[in-house]
Amino acid sequence: MKALRKTTQEPGELTLCDIPEPVAGLGEVLIQVHASGLCGTDMHIREGGYGFRPPVTLGHEIGGEVIDVGETVTHISVGDRVTVNPTGNGSCGRCRFCHQGSYFFCPERRSVGSGIDGGFAQSLVVPGPLVFGLPDHLAYAAVAMVEPFACCVKAVCRFSDIAPGDIALVCGPGPIGLMCAWLALQAGAQVVVAGTGSDGDRLERARSMGVTAAVNVEDTDVVETLAEMSEGYGADVVLDCGGTRGSVNQCLQAAANCGRFTQVALIDHSFDIDWGRIVYKQLNVQGTIAADWPSWDRALTMTREEQVDLTQFVTHTHSLEDWETAFEHAEGRIGLKQILEP
């Protein structure tokens, strides 16, 4: 079968390979992949960043159909529509991080799509406990979006402590940024989304979601916009979903005294930030990465109960053979989520 793989540690290299079809063993589930989302993590892996173990098939945002189950698997049946919690794979269940539900930090963890073969393939095998059923009428693209949505639930609902009446700034209007903005709106905040001139369509999508303002920082001062909204105080909560020096420092500048800063975007390289603003503003600063069990459960429930339409964050679908176009779209900020359909 065809699979998109990272075969070496060298940056910039991915290969569409023919590999044997996997077989479900004891306690495992064989899934036919119908949709697999392209994440910023996949782009980092392509360039040699993030933690991965080549050779490995990429893709951890997975929507598919069960085509076989191994012995002892009883909660999932052949024909079920399912998604996968990829980051929990291999977690030991014994360390302090597993006991907290923060399996990402388990030293034994090997994520699907970076540590073991993922969803940029026609099928994959994963341990049964990582497989979760969803209603058959949901689009496979929505099923694949549960994982990135869970990461946003963790960032917004668990870490950022957004309350009704808050003013929230989201820098970076990509798929993650707009899901964070949507969640902040549901929490009752006034939401400002900031981007650049190349984010024109994305900022327009933010406006259609009902944000208070969607600002192109190249022609509008977002700090002034927030000051006008808040009697001069600034944003109660800022979330950086851009991951650049400019977006991080803009968030620090826009935050109100005693405000909350959450770093959501991955940053693989160092750059200068205005550390003094953190001290003199007495900001509560935190990072967040991946999901945890509480955020995963909440995202799964919201999707199952159709409290959120995750297809609104998907704009393009591609065949596996057209993977290069998907990466080019993501790198060029064309649309929102890019989905591969193996």
38 domain residue, yes or no: yes
Which tens digit of pLDDT belongs to each residue from 134-159? 999 999 999 999 999 999 999 999 99
How far apart are alpha carbons 85 and 74 in whole angstroms?
18
Residues 165, 183 within the same domain: yes
Query: Which residue ranges in the chain fall short of pLDDT 70?
Result: none
Residues 8, 139 within the same domain: yes
Other beta carbons within 10 Å of 128: 18
Residues 134, 155 within the same domain: no
Q: Tally the domains of the chain.
A: 2
Q: Which amino acid is at 325?
A: T
pLDDT value, residue 229: 97
Peptide bond before residue 86 is cis, with ω within 30 degrees of 0: no
Q: Are 251 and 243 in contact (CB under 8 A)?
A: no
How far apart are alpha carbons 316 and 253 in whole angstroms?
34
Which tens digit of pLDDT belongs to each residue from 286-300? 999 999 999 999 999
Task: Report residue 248 as tokens.
Answer: 């991080």
Check which CATH number belongs to the domain holding 139 and give it: 3.90.180.10
Which tens digit of pLDDT belongs to each residue from 97-135? 999 989 999 999 999 999 999 999 999 999 999 999 999
How far apart are alpha carbons 179 and 196 in whole angstroms?
18
Residues 162, 268 within the same domain: yes
Q: Are 76 and 128 in contact (CB under 8 A)?
A: yes
Structural element, H or E, at residue 250: helix 245-254
39 domain residue, yes or no: yes
299 domain residue, yes or no: no
Residues 49, 10 within the same domain: yes
Residue 290: which region, alpha, beta or left (left: phi > 0; alpha: psi -120 to 50)?
left
22 domain residue, yes or no: yes
Q: Which residues pair with 214 in a beta bridge?
A: 193
Burial category of 227 from C-beta neighbours within 10 Å (exposed 0-12, middle 13-18, buried 19 and up): middle
pLDDT value, residue 49: 80
Structural element, H or E, at residue 3: strand 2-6
Task: Report residue 270 as tokens.
Answer: 């160092």
The closest alpha carbon to 63, from 45, 37, 77, 83, belongs to 83
Q: Which amino acid is at 8?
A: T
pLDDT value, residue 282: 98
Residues 8, 137 within the same domain: yes
Check which CATH number belongs to the domain holding 259 and give it: 3.40.50.720
Strands 28-37 and 61-69 come out as: antiparallel
How far apart are alpha carbons 206 and 212 in whole angstroms?
9
61 domain residue, yes or no: yes
- Tracing tokens 């989905």 back to the chain, one arrives at 339
In the DSSP assignment, the letter for residue 8 is S
301 domain residue, yes or no: no
How far apart are alpha carbons 56 and 10 in whole angstroms?
13
Task: Report residue 325 as tokens.
Answer: 């176009």
Residues 124, 215 within the same domain: no
Q: Are 313 and 176 in contact (CB under 8 A)?
A: no
Q: Which domain holds residue 103?
A: 2-144+309-341
Residues 89, 207 within the same domain: no
9 domain residue, yes or no: yes
Residues 41, 140 within the same domain: yes
303 domain residue, yes or no: no
